[in-house]
Chains A and B, each alone.
Chain A
């Protein structure tokens, strides 16, 4: 009789542990997964829109009192693209993107790039070029590796 009573208690205890752990693990798992999803999605959205916003911010910068970063990039084919201009843009990209590696390119060539390979984040920009009926719009892509902190 005592054997039966002990076995019943053991079974009830085991069932209690199983159900309690199911509820606890399930609850924690749901919250963790939920948080994980939010983190992942926010990161995804942030990186995608930040890259484009970065390009927008870059184009809005003034190179000097009469010349904007937009014009520096748009008119580089006719005005030239000297080291000062390159340094100005490189510094701004490095600072704004918090990137150790980056690459600014159009559909055919690199405009600016670092020695290391950039691949993590990418933003696009479209700029109007000085009048040439064959090509009035240029597409640019900025690829960079944001420093992990």
Chain B
């Protein structure tokens, strides 16, 4: 009996021990599971913090992007990269040469470059996916008149400016610095295309980015595959890929010796031919896939060339599957061409970066006046900032804004008013010449000296300082007292900007350009 009691107690002890072990094991497993859950919760909390960190930093990235853009564009006289068809002097653009003006889209170029820089910041964030920034508003001070800039709205894809002088602007050209830009229809560096010098390649790889207007492509330093081909004496390039992988984009370039037919012709047929070329190239792969001829595609979608010899034409996105999306924007005041999808834009309204002017011309609105030296930048994107893992997805609105000290609009306004809209240099020369009553016997050095001293001047407008320096004075040697001057204009915003030029440093952007003028318009070019 005693033995049985011992066995019972022993069994009870074993049950006690097993119970404790069961509790221990279950709690250990539970502990492991809870720690795992806890770790996941920490990951989520940290992801939220990271998104918050990006949001805190974006206004600063926007500010730095703007300051760098202001610096880069200003040092090139209002261009990010000076187009090949703009006259230059000492490697800087000439804004006015005799009776011609070459006014850059200074504000637009600065904004485009700002967005380009901001997208570089976004690309370097590794822990989150930042979308491409495509739009920007600039408000004067905290409000006031705003300057809106949207790259891709509405569906503008191809832009072309046909001039009546046998030359065409608006196509993409190659320029130094691995940057494609809109500009003259010529290839500045033919070798890069492999079309000349006996070397031809159907596929060339190069970098694109920082482009202007509708040819702005995001993602500097990305490589896009670009194909080229020569057809009927014309050379064409086209490409496809990010950021619009579903579309092809194309440009037509007229190489030297290729003639004018279809490229520069002012005739309706010639313009139509050009439009068709661009469209066909852009949709080459689709046309091939559908087995339709280029002509069929053009007929099918009622393509029409709304252009004229002196008009900016906006050939809009053509959806191969939805013809109703084809739109041609015509500025009010210009005869509306026949065709489907023609949209008449009222004066003062904008399409993309262009504003419909009251004379029927498309203009780039840069005449915004801002009396204060602060602007509010607002960068927008259609995407979302996101962090995605197997555990969670976190999203954040990417739109950001920052108040920045800048005289961007005032710098440009002064430059335009003083040296483009009014030729103050020419007036000065005329005054000097008439006041001094120079004759055939006048000493050239005296004339030169007096003209130089009359032109040399400086003035300030708030924080904006302007310095005018004649760099060359030429006197026509046939005794009619004709004087021509090349004048360097420096406009400097005294506000501190932080910009990079190889070594990070504080610098004040300096807009520099040249004005070349004479007191008559028959003078030989300098």
Contacts and interface: CB of A to CB of B under 8 A. Distances in A.
Interface stretch (B117-125, B377-385, B389-397): B117-125
Given A127-B57, A131-B117, A136-B124, A29 B504 contact: no
Contacts of B506: 78-79
B60 A71 contact: yes
A48 B42 contact: yes
Contacts of A48: 42, 45-46
B53 A33 contact: no
Nearest to B2: A7
B127 interface: yes
A86 B68 CA distance: 27
Contacts of A132: 500, 504
B5 interface: yes
B40 to A, nearest CB: 10
A9 to B, nearest CB: 10
Interface string A45-57: 1001100110110
A14 interface: yes
Contacts, number: 134
Give the contact-size bracket for chain A.
Answer: 35 or more
Nearest to B37: A41
B41 A45 contact: yes
Contacts of A130: 64, 67, 498, 500, 504
A48 B42 CA distance: 7
A26 B16 CA distance: 9
Contacts of B41: 45
A18 B17 CA distance: 10
A16 to B, nearest CB: 9
B54 A126 contact: yes
Contact of B16 (A18, A37, A59, A125): A18
B56 A19 contact: no
Interface in A36-90: 37, 40-41, 44-45, 48-49, 52-53, 55-56, 59-60, 70-71, 74-75, 77-79
B498 A37 contact: no
The secondary-structure label for the interface of chain A is helix
A74 B60 contact: yes
Contacts of A22: 15-16, 19-20
Interface stretch (B6-14, B234-242, B361-369, B441-449): B6-14
Given A7-B1, A19-B12, A45-B38, A131 B65 contact: yes
A137 B121 CA distance: 7
B35 A41 contact: yes
B71 to A, nearest CB: 9
Contacts of B46: 48-49, 52
Interface string B63-94: 01101100000000000000000000000000
B68 A131 contact: yes
Contacts of B20: 22, 25-26, 29
Interface string A1-39: 000100110110011001101100110011001100100
B27 A18 contact: no
| Best-buried of A11, A71, A125 by chain B (most CB within 10 Å) | A11
Nearest to B24: A29
A142 B127 CA distance: 18
Contact of A56 (B15, B34, B56): B56
Category for how many chain B residues contact A: 35 or more
B504 A78 contact: yes
A128 interface: yes
Contacts of A4: 1
Nearest to A21: B16
B64 A131 contact: yes
Nearest to B71: A131
A129 B121 CA distance: 9
Contacts of A136: 61, 120-121, 124
Nearest to A44: B38
26 contacts: A14-B9, A21-B16, A25-B20, A26-B19, A26-B20, A37-B34, A40-B35, A41-B37, A44-B35, A49-B45, A52-B46, A56-B49, A60-B56, A70-B57, A78-B506, A79-B506, A125-B53, A126-B54, A128-B58, A128-B61, A130-B500, A131-B67, A131-B117, A131-B499, A131-B500, A133-B120
Ranked nearest first, the 10 interchain pairs of A and B with the lowest CB-CB distance are A131-B68, A52-B49, A11-B5, A128-B61, A49-B45, A41-B38, A33-B27, A18-B12, A48-B42, A128-B57
Interface of B: 1-2, 5, 8-9, 12-13, 15-16, 19-20, 23, 27, 30-31, 34-35, 37-39, 41-42, 45-46, 49-50, 52-54, 56-58, 60-61, 64-65, 67-68, 117, 120-121, 124-127, 498-500, 504-506
Given A4-B1, A49-B49, A137-B125, 14 more contacts: A7-B5, A11-B8, A11-B9, A14-B9, A48-B45, A70-B57, A79-B506, A128-B121, A130-B504, A131-B64, A131-B498, A132-B504, A136-B61, A137-B126
